[in-house]
Amino acid sequence: MQSSFRFINALKRQPVDSTPVWFMRQAGRYLPEYRAIRERVGGFLGMCKNPEIACEITLQPLQRFDLDAAIIFSDILTIPDAMGLGLHFKANEGPHFERPIRDKAAVERLAIPDMESDLGYVMQAIRLVSHECRHRVPLIGFCGSPWTVATYMVEGQSSRHFSVIKSMMYDEPETLSALLSKITQASCLYLQAQIANGAQAVMIFDTWGGILSPQSYQRFSLSYMQEIVHYLKSRAQTVEIPIILFTKQGGQWLENIAATGCDAIGIDWTVDMAKARQRVGHQVALQGNLDPAVLYAEPKQIEANVKTVLTEYGSGSGHIFNLGHGIYPDVSPDNVKAMIEAVRRYSPAFHSKGNEHGSL
Amino acid sequence: MQSSFRFINALKRQPVDSTPVWFMRQAGRYLPEYRAIRERVGGFLGMCKNPEIACEITLQPLQRFDLDAAIIFSDILTIPDAMGLGLHFKANEGPHFERPIRDKAAVERLAIPDMESDLGYVMQAIRLVSHECRHRVPLIGFCGSPWTVATYMVEGQSSRHFSVIKSMMYDEPETLSALLSKITQASCLYLQAQIANGAQAVMIFDTWGGILSPQSYQRFSLSYMQEIVHYLKSRAQTVEIPIILFTKQGGQWLENIAATGCDAIGIDWTVDMAKARQRVGHQVALQGNLDPAVLYAEPKQIEANVKTVLTEYGSGSGHIFNLGHGIYPDVSPDNVKAMIEAVRRYSPAFHSKGNEHGSL
């Protein structure tokens, strides 16, 4: 089986020859060849906005490793940047917005960006990558969840206690809802355009949904992700494209996430993969969930932990091997190689004939 | 009913007139009278080590608010400090150890501190507070979970990815287990001594258990907390003392936590209180779980959110009202007052006659 089918087939829970593998932030800081480009080009946002550079960075991990998917090198904050909030990245401090959103008037002033002009650099990068790897592996497009994007837009930067957006959530929920609706509208068009330009699967990163209570998560994060899922699933050009939802620390809410109609759920390493499959494996594929810190260990331990994840999921399709969160910047690429090789070595046994449709 | 019985009775799931309330870090930075002492005395550790000051700080929130428990002003790192690791607190950076534990030889060199000499300042503070508030409210003693304390001892400071201790966990689990056993041994004696000196309930803070996989949590965090529970429950002088376990982000493992034999589980705000009660309410009391960020909102919203937590738990004893995590340092004491008053106003209805034994 060609690798280009393995990832998509697993997302659709159709038979595969082995478990597909890719990992979050696979194009990034842990790679010396990425750091070399960054040294040369400068700022992070500048690299995202240069389609040739973004394409080159996207392809770097594929040249080094035997991976089953590419993910476009970009950032979850391209939408608010295109909305004119004045995004810049300070070294070692993360994102800053010059003009954060603090009231209803500011929300009302926000315009939905045009996907081909304001965000054309993302589309061009996707076209370049698609051209390069269409016959090799599928390309994943992505956006942040509306809630996660809103946390940065309202706080203006990374936050520890999320005091500004949570004050808005508790005191002025209508203002927050209006903001989330605008981001949702933009995200629908954004993913639709990424698909039109060549993305063959899409993922929504909900980095901060896990800081909410169950009720707030449902109302302020999941319901907007669900809107995006419904938008894409109700259009002929996008209905076949698999959608992966990933809420970090969302292990308590897998049933709710599966009920959105997404194709797969990304799960972090605090979730028991076997129990997760019992809970939602009849509805969705599961992506994950090796502790990224396992990559600090010796190759022998990495191999053992990969086997544990594969064994927990068990036989049959519907599993995409991944880390439970983005790779840490200080791990060795050799250890990444050991992880991927272990998936290649041990996963075919879980897809032998007779096991193809899974046995729980 | 005297307040001094309300907290203990709720922990034992015996009838109470209203839901007891206290909150994590109630003695601390959000109080101007605390900041005044800190300005005067200097460093955080110096305040912990001065029994008169620690007593004064412990009592501050009780002078301001109508609370049902006091918790001794101290720190979870007193044990490794007493083991000679060279603890100091840098402003805005958290704890630093001069001599972190990195190998088996260092673990073997660690001696169990003497509770009355090395940690006598904690015992003296407890005796002072007990003397002051014995007839008013119970005093809670505490320690960190062995895993959580070990993260600081091994990393040497606060950590983002816990690369050093996780490398040890994956590559040298026996070294980590030896370290955890030593901390556990010290923690058993430490809580026993706190009880002997006047603590009427104890709590184990597992701040970092939630960063582990389910298997690692069971093996490296919960099993050591369980050892402490068994130690205290097997001795005549401590068997009656209620024990509260709190693993931040431990919502997926409530059944396992309840199975340790503890009396109550602290839960954070990502957990649905009604479901938590269904899962483990027949075995343990539940403490929590208002989102601490609710205290950034207007008093009207605080009141509404307090009512939601009380309603989710429902009728009958076994609930101790608390935040889902330590109070944030930048909230207004007026908002804290609004929270406590809302508990006083709305909770008696959940304890009216006929409802005393709870109905799930």
The DSSP code sequence of B70-112 is: EE----TTHHHHHTT--EEEETTTEEEESS---SHHHHHH--P
CA distance B209 to B207: 6
Among residues B276, B265, B178, B176, which one has the least CA distance to residue B229?
B265
Chain A residues in contact with B217 by the CB 8 A cut-off are: 270
pLDDT at B3: 60
A134 is an active site residue: no
Confidence of residue A356 (pLDDT cuts 50, 70, 90): very low
Cα three-residue angle B246-B293-B149, rounded to 5 degrees: 30
Instruction: Test A167 with B296 for CB contact under 8 angstroms.
Output: yes
**Distance from chain centroid for Cα B311:** 24
- Return the pLDDT at A354: 53
What's the pLDDT band for A2 if we cut at 50, 70, 90?
low
Of A6, A13, A34, A75, the catalytic one is A75
Select from A212, A213, A252, A313 the residue whose CB has the most chain B CBs within 10 Å, as the one to mutate to test that interface: A213
Mean pLDDT of chain B: 95
| A-B contacts (CB, under 8 Å) | 90
DSSP string, B130-159: HHHHTTTS-EEEEEE-HHHHHHHHHHSB--
Distance CA A193, CA A181 (A): 18
pLDDT for position A3: 60
ipTM over 0.90: yes
User: Which residue out of A158, A161, A166, A270 would a mutagenesis test of the B interface target, given it has the greatest number of B Cβ atoms within 10 Å?
Assistant: A270
Contacts 24+ apart (CB under 8 A), A299-303: A299/A334, A299/A335, A299/A338, A301/B170, A301/B171, A302/A335, A302/A338, A302/A339, A302/A342, A303/A338, A303/A342, A303/A346
Q: Which residues in chain B are closer than 8 Å to A170, comparing Cβ atoms? A: 293-294, 296-298, 301, 305
Q: Give CA–CA dist B178/A169, Å, rounded.
A: 46
Q: Which residues of B are catalytic?
A: 25, 29, 38, 75, 152
Structure tokens at A205: 């990163």
Q: Which of A34, A152, A190, A313 is catalytic?
A: A152
The 10 Å Cβ neighbour count of residue A92 is 5
User: Would you call A132 helix, strand, or coil by DSSP?
Assistant: helix
Q: How far apart are CA B232 and CA B226, in angstroms?
A: 10
Q: Taking CB atoms and an 8 Å cutoff, what residues of chain A touch B326?
A: none
* Residue contact B293–A161, C-beta within 8 A: yes
Binding-site residues on chain B for chain A (CB distance < 8 A): 161-163, 166-167, 170-171, 210-217, 249, 251-252, 269-272, 291-294, 296-298, 301, 305, 308, 328, 330
Cβ separation of B271 and A252 shorter than 8 Å?
yes
Residues of A in contact with B173 (CB under 8 A): none
CA A228 to chain centre: 14
Residues of B in contact with A216 (CB under 8 A): 291
Task: Indicate if A29 belongs to the active site.
Answer: yes
Local confidence pLDDT in tens for the 360 residues of chain B: 456 689 999 999 999 999 999 999 999 999 999 999 999 988 899 999 999 999 999 999 999 999 999 999 999 999 999 999 999 998 777 899 999 999 999 999 999 999 999 999 999 999 999 999 877 899 999 999 999 999 999 999 999 899 999 999 999 999 999 999 999 999 999 999 999 999 999 999 999 999 999 999 999 999 999 999 999 999 999 999 999 999 999 999 999 999 999 999 999 999 999 999 999 999 999 999 999 999 999 999 999 999 999 999 999 999 999 999 999 999 999 999 999 999 999 999 999 865 544 443
pLDDT tens, residue by residue, B196-239: 999 999 999 999 999 999 999 999 999 999 999 999 999 999 99
Amino acid, single-letter form, for residue A59: L
Give me the domains of chain B, ranges plus CATH numbers: 3-351 (3.20.20.210)
Across the interface, of B163, B252, B272, the residue whose CB is closest to A270 is B252
| Nearest C-alpha in A relative to B168 | A297
Of residues B171, B271, B292, nearest to A301 (C-beta): B171
Distance from CA of B228 to the nearest CA of A (A): 24
Of B166, B296, B305, the CB nearest to A293: B166
Is A291's CB within 8 Å of B213's CB? yes
Residue A352 CA to residue B338 CA, distance in Å, equals 62
Structure tokens at B270: 């990502």
Out of A171, A297, A328, name the one closest to residue B298 (CB): A171
**Are B91 and B167 in contact, with CB atoms under 8 Å apart?**
no
3-state secondary structure of B227: helix
Cis-peptide, bond into residue A335, ω within 30° of zero: no
Q: What is the pLDDT of residue B116?
A: 94
Q: Give residue-wise pLDDT tens across range A10-57.
A: 999 999 999 999 999 999 999 999 999 999 988 899 999 999 999 999
- Give the mean pLDDT of chain A: 95
Q: Work out the burial of residue A308: count CB atoms within 10 Å of its CB; fewer than 13 is exposed, 13-18 middle, 19 or more buried.
A: middle
Q: Which amino acid is at B56?
A: E
Nearest partner of A317 among A349, A343, A356, judged by Cα: A356
